[in-house]
Amino acid sequence: MKPIGIFYGSSTGNTKKIAENIKSNLEPGLVDIYDVKYVKKEVLERYDNIILGSSTWGEGVLQPDFEQFLYNVLKIANLKGKKIAIFGTGDSSVYPNSFVDSIGIIFEALEGKGVIFVGEFPTNGYHFSSSLSIFGDKFMGLPLDDDSDEDQNKLRVSIWTQLLKSDLN
């Protein structure tokens, strides 16, 4: 497996904790983790396998550091041919109409840049009304709920990282 860069934005520490959990479920010696607050375009471009993670704040707003990263780094970086997986955190009970919209926002920002998206995840087992993260009948990444469904997160991360191991070769 080629090296993997995990790039996350976290205000409360939940998304950082998930990024570290993802790393421990992959091959830790091949995975580097970066807080997007400190990442330059050149660092992102070094990786052929990239995992992006952000929480959704309120009604469909990206975590502030990740929003800056999206516009100042992701949109200008050369990502053609790179494999991209996305995870997002949200609260399905308080914000059921914008659950993990962050995944969809990131996906749409990178669509058309020549990236290869990996890591789709089924919608069954989640309780929400609407999400920008669903295309067809799947989430375009891994949705996690640290507020209303935390007991499922470890299992979902484990399943998702197993899928990624074959996708990120």
Q: Which domains does the chain have, with CATH numbers?
A: 4-167 (3.40.50.360)
**Is 141:120 a contact under the CB 8 Å cutoff?**
yes
pTM: 0.94
Burial 15-33 (b: 16+ CB within 10 A, else e): bbebbebbbebbeeeebeb
pLDDT range class, residue 147, cuts 50, 70, 90: low
Phi, psi of 66 (to 5 degrees): -70, -35
How far, in whole angstroms, is CA 77 from its chain's centroid? Answer: 17
3-state secondary structure of 169: coil
Q: Which residue has the higher pLDDT, 94 or 111?
A: 111
**Mind listing the pLDDT tens digit for each residue in 42-101?**
999 999 999 999 998 877 888 999 999 999 999 999 999 999 999 998 877 766 677 898
pLDDT range class, residue 148, cuts 50, 70, 90: low
